[in-house]
Homo-oligomer: A and B are copies of this chain.
Amino acid sequence: MPLQFNEYYNELTGLTVGIKKLLFSEQSQYQLVEVYETDTWGNLLTIDGLVMLSERDEFVYHEMLTHVGLFTHPHPEKVLIIGGGDGGSAREVLRHRSVEVVDMVEIDKTVVDASKRFLPDVGDFSNPKLNVIYEDGIKFVNRVENQYDVIIIDGSDPVGPAAGLFEKEFHELCYGALKENGVLTAQTESPWVKSYHPGIKKVYKVLNELYNESYMYMCSIPLYPTGLWSMMCASKGEGPLSESALNRVEKGITELRALNYYNSDIHKSAFALPEFVKNILA
Contact = CB atoms under 8 A, between A and B. Distances in A.
Interface of A: 2, 4, 6, 8, 10-19, 38-41, 57, 59-60, 192, 218, 220-222, 226-228, 259-263, 265-266, 268-276, 278
A16 B11 contact: no
A277 B6 CA distance: 27
A266 B16 CA distance: 29
Contacts of A222: 192, 226-228
A228 to B, nearest CB: 4
Contact of A13 (B8, B18, B60): B18
Contacts of A192: 57, 222
Nearest to A64: B274
Contacts of A265: 271-273
Contact of A15 (B15, B262, B263): B15
A271 B268 CA distance: 11
Contact of A6 (B16, B39, B59, B262): B16
Q: Which 9 A-B pairs have the closest CB atoms?
A: A227-B227, A12-B18, A269-B269, A269-B272, A265-B272, A11-B39, A222-B226, A10-B40, A220-B228
A116 B171 CA distance: 50
Given A16-B12, A222-B228, A263 B268 contact: no
Contact of A261 (B8, B260, B261, B275): B275
Contacts of A8: 16, 18
Given A261-B275, A266-B273, A268-B272, 19 more contacts: A10-B40, A12-B16, A12-B17, A13-B38, A13-B40, A13-B41, A59-B276, A220-B227, A222-B226, A222-B228, A226-B227, A227-B227, A260-B275, A260-B276, A262-B274, A263-B274, A263-B275, A266-B272, A269-B269
A62 to B, nearest CB: 13
Contacts of A4: 12
Contacts of A6: 16
A276 to B, nearest CB: 5
A276 B266 CA distance: 12
Residue with the greatest number of chain B CB neighbours at <10 A, chosen from A13, A15, A273: A13
A253 to B, nearest CB: 10
Contacts of A10: 18, 39-41
Contacts of A260: 274-276
Contacts of A218: 220
**Considering residues A15, A227, A270, A272, which has the most beta carbons from chain B within 10 angstroms of its beta carbon?**
A227
8 contacts: A11-B39, A12-B39, A13-B18, A15-B16, A16-B16, A222-B226, A222-B228, A261-B274
Contacts of A11: 18, 39-40
